[in-house]
Amino acid sequence: MDFKSEFVTPTRDRRARRTRSALLRAAIDLVTERGTAAIPITDIADAADVSRQVVYQQFGDRDTLLLGAAMDLARRELLPRIDDTHASDGRTHALATARHFAEHRRFYRALLMSSCAFVLNKGLTGLLLPINRDGIREIYSEQLDPQMLDDVAIYVTGGGTSLLNVWLVDGEDPLDPEEFTDRLMRMLSFLAWAHQTAT
């Protein structure tokens, strides 16, 4: 499935947008409630008060709908939270991120344990990459050429997303966002130390 598929592109028609929003909310609610991504399309359509045909017209299939719901949730709730921190330190942004995923663990965990996992990771990495790139640029602006800056940002974002996956899927209840943030910051401190040692 191509990540730049239809579920990322908002529609311009107001009625279609309302229908789309209802389907995204229904998908999030049902996956969260049941703890699985194996929700029949009929159940999602019924919860959104639309026909199955509308689901297929809007999204094509269930996985695309679920991925759209995950990215919509992250854009609506996570990105504003990161923007609202008004802090340039990475810990504040990392803690806001950890809190978002802890609050929506049942939803994200269900998707990470389904056929959606790879594309979801790709989408979340793409969403968080610009934020991490800006942070790395701020810290190492004069020490990294543009290619190295991109490589480090991709490496840090991909590694952080992998740690996040393990935490969401295997972490003990209740998840502790502070402890997870400390783990991330220790990892970043180690990478910074390794960079200084290498130069």
> Per-residue pLDDT tens for 131-163?
889 888 887 777 888 998 999 899 989 999 999
The answer to whether 64 and 55 have CB atoms below 8 angstroms apart is no
What pLDDT is stored for residue 20 in this prediction?
95
From CA 3, how far away is CA 19, in angstroms rounded? 21
pLDDT at 83 over 50: yes
Contact, 41 vs 52, CB < 8 A?
A: yes
Average pLDDT over residues 173-183: 96
Q: What are the CB-based long-range contacts (under 8 Å, 24+) for 93-96?
A: 93/131, 93/135, 94/160, 94/181, 94/184, 94/185, 95/177, 95/178, 95/181
* pLDDT per position as a tens digit, 40-79: 999 999 999 999 999 999 999 999 999 999 999 999 999 9
- For residue 129, how many other CB atoms are within 10 A of its CB? 17
Q: What is the pTM assigned to this prediction?
A: 0.88
CATH superfamily of 88-198: Tetracycline Repressor, domain 2 (1.10.357.10)
The rounded distance, in Å, linking the Cα atoms of 105 and 5 is: 25
Give the pLDDT mean for 35-40: 97
